[in-house]
Amino acid sequence: MEEIHDIVIVGGGISGLATALALQRKGIKSIVLERHETLRSSGAAIGMFINGWRALDELGVGRRLREKSLALMEIQDVWIHKDVSRVTPCRKEGLRCLRRSDLIDALASSLPAECIRVGCQVVRIEPDPLTLFPTLYTREGEIIKAKVLIGCDGWNSVVAKCLGLAEPKTLRNLVIRGVTEFSKGHQFGDSFVRQFDDKMLFGMIPIDHQIIHWFVDWLPTSTDMETSTRNPDMIKELATAKLRNHPPETLEMVRNGEPDSLSLARIRYRSPWDLLLSDAFHRSTTCLTGDAMHVMGPFLGQGGAAALEDAVVLSRNLAMALRKGEEDDGEVTVLSDEEIKRRVGLGMGEYVRERRRRIALLGLQSYLMDLIYSGSNVYKLVGLVVLMVFFRGEMLKHTEYDCGRL
């Protein structure tokens, strides 16, 4: 089978759905190809600072999602082995935590059903020999020709490989994530709590008054590396073993984690210099967004928000580039294939230029935070010095960013 679409988005996660929704709000149709049989919400939950909420408001789903989340008042950092703590106030409405499933549902339900195709895995991309537009080949035997191709398919992106982007790097860290629901309500308040203890980080962030998102991040041993990444019972056992010195209520929370929410994974990232210098984020009428472009460690809580920003900025630039205009007699100008390539290329080029400095700074700050958290004493010192020089110690300054109107 062979079909033709103007804009194809590969990946039905946060990035892909947000991009499709942003394009729709600009009056541009697209189709989203998701390789799994259903839209997935792996990762349990996602923290969202004010910059992410600005993007969600532009997409028209911010109000709906605020009703499903609790406004957090502060971030509490505790260094257990040093008996040191720090409290950072959050600006009003500045930080909330969302279930990924709620975010995915809000984005997907705002799109026409025919815009999303599940169970469609792209395995190869080649330029059409005549038009040079991208041609996608799926595992199911379909051939899909696109005039515009947007890769939103995560760190292991088939579109990124097509563009020649290098594989992301892997940190030594392992991270377990989960969600626990308390039927009678929890007693953890409205603060985001992070506890640092000898190269291990434990965090709890309320989603609402009954649901807590929690995570454990540590430098693994060889035994840890052999642990299954899919078995919920083994994941819980490993998490409780790492938290054995924590209070009983913490261990009970982990033991009661929802099985479907549990995950164990390595942290992947693109280096700040790759983000700053790579020329493989865009070529002709193909480009990347979200983790496919700038996967980063979770130390800033900006992966999802940055993907939402991408969606707004890319759609704004594409709409400006593709605006056909109307002649005096009201007729719409029809663009030739060559004109589409020229205009889309300019729009994508402007998108990459606009986003590059932003994602490079986020990548740098996330990288420095990892050095401070898990590096040797020398690396910790280097990370602190560079962090102070580039960011002047303003740890939440990046959350004030405004990606602009759609």
In this predicted structure, the answer to whether residue 106 has a pLDDT above a threshold of 90 is: yes
Spatial distance between the Cα atoms of 288 and 293, rounded to a whole number of angstroms: 5
Structure confidence by residue, pLDDT tens digits, 253-308: 999 999 999 999 889 999 999 999 999 999 999 999 999 999 998 888 899 999 99
Between helix 50-59 and helix 303-322 the angle, nearest 10°, is 40
What's the CATH architecture for 171-267? 2-Layer Sandwich (3.30)
- Residue 260: its H or E element: none
Which amino acid does the sequence have at 242? K
Spatial distance between the Cα atoms of 398 and 358, rounded to a whole number of angstroms: 9
Token code pair at residue 73: 């008042």
Percentage, residues of the chain above pLDDT 90: 70
- Residue 244: its H or E element: none
Candidates 3.40.50.450, 3.40.640.10, 3.50.50.60, 3.20.20.80; correct CATH number of 2-83+97-168+270-400? Answer: 3.50.50.60
In this predicted structure, the answer to whether residue 87 has a pLDDT above a threshold of 50 is: yes
Which amino acid does the sequence have at 303? G
Q: Which long-range contacts (CB under 8 A, 24 or more apart) does 126-132 make?
A: 131/337, 132/284, 132/341
Tell how strand 45-49 and strand 191-196 pair up.
Answer: unpaired
pTM of the predicted structure, to 2 decimals: 0.93
Spatial distance between the Cα atoms of 285 and 301, rounded to a whole number of angstroms: 30
What CA–CA distances, in Å, run from 288 to 154, 167, 190, 238?
Answer: 10, 14, 36, 35
- Under the banding of pLDDT at 50, 70 and 90, the label for residue 335 is confident
Spatial distance between the Cα atoms of 36 and 329, rounded to a whole number of angstroms: 47
Spatial distance between the Cα atoms of 321 and 317, rounded to a whole number of angstroms: 6
The structural domains of the chain, with segments of one domain joined by +, span 2-83+97-168+270-400, 171-267
- At residue 402's C-alpha, the angle toward residues 396 and 406, to 5°, is 150
Which amino acid does the sequence have at 323? R
